[in-house]
Amino acid sequence: MASATTADVNRPESSSAPPGYAQPGLPPGPRAPALLQTLAWALAPTWVMDGCRRRLGEAFTLTFSPSGMKLVLISDPEAVKSVFTAPPEVAPSGAGNSPVAPVMGPSSVIVLTGPEHMRQRKLLASACVSTRR
């Protein structure tokens, strides 16, 4: 099963490349129109990920309609680990660009990054620790 990564690929890019062909810096994606990719992902995400992995390889890009947002998915566990453990200069978090940001709010631990994320996370963790002995 593939794991999504959120590098700086959430911005729509104008490209003359046909659907399914890689844009500079992004792995290839399905040739289906963005609307069809979006519907397939909404109805059967695992099926979409498995099919793309078989046809396109360990890394592929999905394009969502109507925003044109691009999401790179990686299915190799070692590659996923390297993305999540890479320093922010190499693999910046796209949490601030997350589609849940407007719902969760700008101070949510889910959308924060860096030192502020760690501060909020520690506050949350201490509130969840049981004091039973």
Boundaries of domain holding 116: 93-133
Pair (9, 57) in one structural domain: yes
Short-list 75, 55, 62, 4, CA closest to 33: 62
For residues 100 and 130, membership in a common domain is answered with yes
Do 48 and 109 fall within a single domain?
no
* Domains contained in the chain, number: 2
User: In 3-state terms, what secondary structure has residue 71?
Assistant: strand
pLDDT per residue, tens digit, the chain (133 aa), is: 455 544 434 444 444 444 445 567 899 999 999 999 999 999 999 999 999 999 999 999 999 988 888 988 998 899 888 887 888 777 766 666 676 777 788 888 878 877 888 888 888 888 777 666 5
- Helix (H) / strand (E) element for 61: namely strand 59-63
Are residues 45 and 18 located together in one domain of the fold? yes
User: What tokens were used for 114?
Assistant: 């860096």
* 80 in the same domain as 125: no
Domain boundary among 49, 68, 87: 87
In a shared domain, residues 44 and 83: yes
pTM given for the model: 0.58
Alpha helices in the chain (DSSP H): 34-43, 45-56, 77-85, 101-104, 114-128
Residue at 97: amino acid letter = N
